[in-house]
Amino acid sequence: MDTSANLDLLPGKFSDDTVREIVAAQRRFFRTGTTLPVSWRIRQLKRLKEAVLAHEAEFIQALADDLGRSEVEAYLCDIGPIVVEINEMIRGLRRWARPEIHLSGLMCFPSIFTKVYKMPYGVSLVISPFNFPILLTIGVVAAAMAGGNTVVIKSSSKSAASTAALKRFFAEVFSPEYVTLIDGGHDIADICLAQRFDKIFYTGSPAVGKHVLTAAAKNLTPVALELGGETGNWCVIRKDANLKDAARKIAFFKLTNAGQICININQIAVAEEVAEAFLSELKLAFVSQIGEHAERNPEYPKLITDAAYDKCAQLADEYCERIIFGGTGDKQSCKYAPTIIYPVDINEPIVQQELFCPLLPVVPYKDAEIDSLMDTIAEREHPLAMYLFTCNMRWANRVMQTQQFGGGCINEVCIHMMVKGVPFNGTGHSGMGAYHGEWGFREFTHPQTVLRGSRWLNLPLREHPYSGKAGKQKMALLRLFER
């Protein structure tokens, strides 16, 4: 593919006409069948991986500019996972894309075999978020490419440096009729949603997810949504938990990206029998990992915008009398320290919304009333993640098999996302669909069933007449075949 003129083809300001032409050009390219051969897709994925590694320094700098990420955190959370994800696709794609062969069955005789082809949808739209702008753009694009689709990307205007880097990246690596990035604000996103795409993948908030679904419904476009969940992700600490271990892991996770992670811990429920001991361990863990004043530490990430900082600070002010750790920030750098708020009642507003910031409300409960607590959580909107800390594996396994949520961990946080071959997804207000590895390939392909018939030995079983002696004979055969 010739990408030499890509930068000239992409305007600085997009309009209805330019976006419509981009989509039309991609549709024409898709109809040529170029993206269908698996060998071609693998070559593009290898090209994508090589380009990611070549642009690593640029991406790390962009993440530092947008979110204050350190080099280690940028590689740990964005660059490294992309490379692992693409490698998994390169190794597995031939097997995933192979048509399934099924016996047609007696009712379909004389047809013997039926195949299920994994067909790409066509022209896909990927709307990516600000919090992991590199990972959640390139990772989803890789899944769309593995499925044989073309891709239009609408990246977040909030992460401006990353969007600029991604725009240059894709323009240099792929031709715009295959993959192209459109930048801009909500108005440009709406222009994109007004076009007829064959698949839409959106990552972001439930409120915008509803808007995406509404727009997609006009063209009956299939949609995958990866959302954060309206009432947040719970972490439950039982009285038999290893408190030091739990505190260490929770502190690490809450510090990552300053809490701006869709699967991050939104609130903690801790057994009141061990609440004071746990909170002491959590404070020590924060100080050990980031220091007394996180907002002064250059390794600590920042909130994405002034508005995000103000929202966090205002909410902290509302609960200032119950802040037992943190509660300080630096407006100029947009950094707000990890902040523990305790005690909080389970019905207070702060634990019934997705926070997406370093605030950490803690709800005490009686350990003997754990089932009542889990019932309350279950009655709310399904979270994207659930984390349990306990030695009671029987209870933990029962909870994980009966509660509804996207994914989670027992005595661990977040790393279920790093396991190869498993899906990442939400349910209800935390999303629909799934991706990562083969699940991403499945998300961007449609299983297309094709039966191969025969010109010989076709029995008149399905044909009229259905009455008289012939009808009785057919009914007897039907009852025999359809047992």
Residues 6 or more apart whose CB falls under 8 angstroms from that of 35 comprise 29, 41, 120, 145, 148, 149, 150, 178
Q: What is the DSSP letter of 382?
A: P
**Confidence (pTM):** 0.94
Superfamily of domain 234-380+385-424: Aldehyde Dehydrogenase; Chain A, domain 2 (3.40.309.10)
The answer to whether 6-229+434-446 and 234-380+385-424 have equal CATH topology is no
Domains of the chain, by residue range, sit at 6-229+434-446, 234-380+385-424, 453-481
Instruction: Tell me what pLDDT residue 12 has.
Output: 59
Q: How far apart are CA 308 and CA 312, in angstroms?
A: 6
Instruction: Tell me what pLDDT residue 5 has.
Output: 41
Q: How far apart are CA 41 and CA 47, in angstroms?
A: 10
Can you give the pLDDT of all 483 residues of the chain as single tens digits? 555 444 444 555 788 999 999 999 999 999 999 999 999 999 999 999 999 999 999 999 999 999 999 999 999 999 999 999 999 999 999 999 999 999 988 788 899 999 999 999 999 999 999 999 999 999 999 999 999 999 999 999 999 999 999 999 999 999 999 999 999 999 999 999 999 999 999 999 999 999 999 999 999 999 999 998 889 999 999 999 999 999 999 999 999 999 999 999 999 999 999 999 999 999 999 999 999 999 999 999 999 999 999 999 999 999 999 999 999 999 999 999 999 999 999 999 999 999 999 999 999 999 999 999 999 999 999 999 999 999 999 999 999 999 999 999 999 999 999 998 899 989 999 999 999 999 999 999 999 999 999 888 888 888 899 999 999 998 998 888 877
Q: How far apart are CA 368 and CA 272, in angstroms?
A: 10
Instruction: Tell me what pLDDT residue 9 has.
Output: 47
Active site residues: 226, 262
Closest by CA to 436, choosing from 126, 89, 198, is: 89
Q: How far apart are CA 483 and CA 475, in angstroms?
A: 12
Q: In the sheet where 179-182 sits, what is the strand order? A: 179-182, 150-154, 123-127, 199-204, 223-227, 431-432
Place of tokens 């207070």: 348
Copy the structure tokens of residue 215: 């727009």
H-helix or E-strand spanning residue 306: helix 306-318
Instruction: Tell me what pLDDT residue 7 has.
Output: 40
Contact by Cβ (8 Å): 161, 40: no
Residues in the chain: 483
Place of tokens 């039309």: 24
Q: How far apart are CA 200 and CA 180, in angstroms?
A: 15
Note the CATH number of domain 6-229+434-446. Answer: 3.40.605.10
Burial, 2: exposed, middle or buried (Cβ in 10 Å; 0-12, 13-18, 19+)?
Answer: exposed
